[in-house]
Structure 1
Amino acid sequence: MAEKKFPKDFVWGSATASYQVEGSPLADGAGPSIWHRFSHTPGTTHDGETGDVACDHYNRYKEDIKLMKSLGLKGYRFSISWSRIFPNGKGKINEKGVDFYNKVIDELLKEDITPFVTIYHWDLPAALQDIGGWTNRDIACWFGDYADYLFQ
């Protein structure tokens, strides 16, 4: 059998989702997401587990990124929590949430790890779910505003 090799430009990395690793889902002005609400509903998770602490990436991102570096990872795909940026899903921006993701990106770049950002990983702000969520036609504009803000 011939030896197979990855292309030279292949990026070895890791991936996470905000609610699964960050913890502190309501810290610094963030709003609840549908996952936060779901996991806090009695009977929905094993032993009442929630993402309140998770891997505590919100507080330990520097340590986590150093671990990524030590493993030789060149990329990190992570998601941004919409409700950490827009606590109500739209309207007022939570600057502390923006600062968190900027610090994560800066730290990744400092360690020569390419950030790959997912802007939505199934964690809709609960406030938007309360007014119809993805069945509300206005969500296209709300998501557009969120995406536009992130890309700016």
Structure 2
Amino acid sequence: MTSSIDNARRALEARASGLVFPRGFVFGAATAAYQIEGAPDADGKGESIWDRFCRIPGAIVDGSSGDVACDHYHRWKEDIAVLEALGLGAYRFSLAWTRLLPEGRGEVNTKGI
């Protein structure tokens, strides 16, 4: 029996097979700090609004948070290797302000850079 996911995959592959990208087109990936970083207490990171919100009982239905996420903070070298293996030519990422300025102002946390 064929699933709707298989059907969708086949339809997408059929539509994408005829796509032509201009010479020099760069494929890339993008991430957002809270969604991938994890390591909420590592190297002096301050608390973000999301860190605080996720700890309010009932605020998130399943109780999940970004505490681990993809653990990009500890696994970034592996993640970059995956991007390279995929043949991507660009990577746009963000750094959590709470990691750079743990108190919201004042000295920059150099470990967060």
Q: If the TM-score is normalised by the length of the shorter chain, which range does it land in?
A: 0.7 to 0.9
Separation in 1 of the partners of 2:87 and 2:63? Answer: 36
* Aligned partner of residue 76 in structure 1, secondary structure: strand
Cα distance in 1, alignment partners of residues 23 and 60 from structure 2: 42
User: In the TM superposition, what are the counterparts of 1:66-105 in structure 2 within 5 Å?
Assistant: 66-98=81-113
CA-based RMSD: 1.3
In structure 1, the gaps of 5 or more residues are 99-152
1:64 to 69, 72, 79: 79
Q: How many residues align?
A: 96
Aligned counterparts of 1:5 and 1:57: Cα–Cα separation in 2 = 32
Partner of 1:36: 51
Code of the residue aligned with 1:11 in structure 2: it is: V
Q: Does 1:54 align with 2:69?
A: yes
Instruction: Give ranges in structure 2 of 5+ residues lacking alignment.
Output: 1-17
TM-score (norm 1): 0.59
Q: Does residue 17 in structure 1 map to residue 9 in structure 2?
A: no
Normalised by the size of structure 2, how large is the TM-score?
A: 0.78
Report the AA paired with residue 82 of structure 2. Answer: L
Q: Secondary structure at the match of 1:14?
A: strand
| 2:88 aligned partner, one-letter code | L
